[in-house]
Amino acid sequence: MVEAVASLDLFCNVVDNYGDIGVCWRLARQLADEHGVAVRLWVDDMKSFARICDGIDPAAESQQAQPVTVRRWHAGMALPAPAEVADVVIEAFGCRLPDALIAAMAARQVPPVWINLEYLSAEDWVEGCHRLPSPHPMLPLTKHFFFPGFTENTGGLLRERDLDARRTAFEANAESMRSSLAELGVSPEPDETLISLFCYPHAPVVPLLDALRDDAARSLLLVPEGVASDAIRAWAGALPERGVPLRFGNLRLQTIPFTDQPGYDRLLWSCALNFVRGEDSVLRAQWAQRPLVWHIYPQEEGAHLVKLDAFLARYCAGMPADLAATVKSAWHAWNGDGDWRAAWPAYRKALPALRAHASAWSAGLAAHGDLAGKLLGFAAQVRTRHKA
3-state secondary structure of 10: strand
Active-site hit among 9, 20, 44, 280 = 20
33 is catalytic: no
**Measured between alpha carbons, how far is residue 139 from residues 57, 103, 111, 136 in Å?**
36, 8, 11, 6
User: How many CB atoms lie under 10 A from the CB of residue 292?
Assistant: 23
For the chain, first and last CA: distance in Å?
Answer: 10
Q: Report residue 99 CA to chain centroid gap.
A: 29
d(CA 253, CA 241): 10
Q: Is residue 244 exposed (0-12), middle (13-18) or buried (19+ Cβ within 10 Å)?
A: exposed
d(CA 359, CA 357): 5
Active-site hit among 9, 265, 279, 370 = 279
Among residues 272, 263, 221, 268, the alpha carbon closest in space to that of 246 is found at 221
**Residue 86 bridge partners (DSSP):** none
Residue 334 phi, psi (nearest 5): -65, -25
20 is catalytic: yes
Among residues 188, 242, 209, 9, the alpha carbon closest in space to that of 114 is found at 9
What positions carry a catalytic annotation?
A: 20, 279
